[in-house]
């Protein structure tokens, strides 16, 4: 990990999104129903990460960090890095 500052001469400032992929050593089955609210599904996903971490099931993780600046013309200029 490192701190990356995208060039933001004006606007709302830096924004960074972190995409993280976890490789798990076992299948985790969720009992969440498809019709559940998206927030509930999200909570299940977070609990899965915690559970996998606690059980030592995370074989590895890969992360893509996306730093970008928002401009008034709705164009997004960014810098991207694989962490």
Partner 1 sequence: MELPRSSWKNPALLAFATSALLALVVIIGLASTTTTTSNTRLRQSGTEHWTQLYKGFTTDAFAKIFGVDDSADSSSSSSTEFQLLSKDMVNGGNMPYTYTCLAKNGGVSPPLYWKNVPSGTKQFLLTMQTDAFAHNGEYILTRCDWALYGIPKTATSVPEDTGDSVGVIGGTYPGA
Point out which residues bind partner 1 (CB under 8 A). Answer: 2, 8, 12-30, 32, 34, 36-46, 48-49, 52, 59-64, 66, 68, 70, 74-83
| In the complex, least distance from residue 30 CB atom to partner 1, rounded to whole angstroms | 6
Contacts of residues 22-28 at CB distance under 8 Å and 24 or more positions apart, as own/partner, are 22/49, 22/52, 22/58, 22/60, 22/61, 23/58, 23/59, 23/60, 23/61, 23/62, 24/52, 24/57, 24/58, 24/59, 25/56, 25/57, 25/58, 25/59, 26/52, 26/55, 26/57, 28/52, 28/57
| In the complex, least distance from residue 6 CB atom to partner 1, rounded to whole angstroms | 9
| In the complex, least distance from residue 54 CB atom to partner 1, rounded to whole angstroms | 14
């Amino acid at each position: 990990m490192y701190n990356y500052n995208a060039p933001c001469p004006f606007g709302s400032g830096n924004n960074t999104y972190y995409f993280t992929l976890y490789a798990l050593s076992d299948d985790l089955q969720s009992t969440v129903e498809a019709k559940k609210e998206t927030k509930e599904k999200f909570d299940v996903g977070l609990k899965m990460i915690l559970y996998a971490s606690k059980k030592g099931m995370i074989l590895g993780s890969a992360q893509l960090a996306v730093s970008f600046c928002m401009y008034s013309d709705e164009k997004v200029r960014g810098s991207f890095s694989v962490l």
